[in-house]
Amino acid sequence: MVHPDSYLFITLDSCRYDTFEAAQAPNLKAIGKLWKAEAPATFTFPSHMAMFVGFTPGVASECQPYVNPKFGKIFKLKVEWKPKGIYHILLEGRNIIHGFRKRGYLTLGTGDVSWFNPRTEAAQPLIKDFHKFYFPGDYFFLRQQVKWMQEQIQRTSKPVFAFMNIGETHAPYYYEGAPWSKEDNPCVPFGANNRAEECRMRQRKCLEFVDEKIGPLLAQFENVVICGDHGDCWGEDGLWEHGISHDKVKEVPLLMRLQPRN
């Protein structure tokens, strides 16, 4: 078990709420109640930028802290002289990663989609404040990500803020060893060979693969937050993929296990 004050924050890239609901994912679903939440943005970069200042996905109709970040934030970033409202942890810095660093946490991050590629300038706002950040290559490297994270947390006795962006649930919906080609993408904006049922099956199978591989890591943390950063359209209103304002892009799963704080 890692330090009890540690946090594990997982984003399932592009994961639709209905995919999570339908999946056989016992490890992920054991974390807590599944909420149909609204993502803060419609694609990876702005959604994570919002989450990294405390605006995690939320259910606007719920007057419940952490489920609705307007009612109470999991990660409260101090932007006022006297912070108001409910929070699970108060952080002071330019974002929550910087805030965890200032509180003495080891900040570890790994991202699997191209917005987290450290070779690009565009990724720097997302990754530069982590003590260590691991980018294994675009999309389908969960096994390597879990191995890296396990190695890092075993080397420290400090509390950890561990962030993982998981790419298997991103189009073309592929996982290591899947019985279909990762070159065949059934969800392409304006594509001529899109297949909604194939998307549905593949994303669900990818999530079930993630559940199996991520289970041992989940068990080590007392504070866990899991969500989608956005969803995808699968032909609804003639639309495909994400980066567009549509209910199916905004709908994401949200689960959490948070220990009471003094």
The whole-number pLDDT of residue 252 equals 98
The whole-number pLDDT of residue 262 equals 55
For residues 159 and 138, which has the higher predicted lDDT (pLDDT)?
159
Report whether pLDDT(82) > 70. Answer: no
Q: How far apart are CA 260 and CA 258, in angstroms?
A: 7
Every domain of the chain and the residues it spans: 7-257
pTM of the model: 0.96
Q: In 10 A of CB 61, how many CB atoms?
A: 8
Burial per residue of 233-245, b for 16 or more beta-carbon CB atoms within 10 angstroms, e otherwise: bbeeeebbbbebe
The whole-number pLDDT of residue 81 equals 64
Per-residue pLDDT tens digits for 222-249: 999 999 999 999 999 999 999 999 999 9
- Residue 83: pLDDT band with limits 50, 70, 90: low
- Residue 261: pLDDT band with limits 50, 70, 90: confident
Report whether pLDDT(126) > 60. Answer: yes
The whole-number pLDDT of residue 195 equals 98
Q: What is the end-to-end Cα distance of the chain in Å, rounded?
A: 21
Helix, strand, coil shares, percent, the chain, to 5 = 30, 20, 50
- Mean pLDDT (the chain) is 95
Looking at 3.30.70.270, 3.40.50.2300, 3.40.720.10, 3.40.50.970, the CATH number of the domain 7-257 comes to 3.40.720.10
Per-residue pLDDT tens digits for 6-40: 999 999 999 999 999 999 999 999 999 999 999 99
The whole-number pLDDT of residue 173 equals 97
Look up residue 162 and give its DSSP letter.
E
DSSP helix/strand/coil, 247? helix
Q: Are 41 and 230 in contact (CB under 8 A)?
A: yes
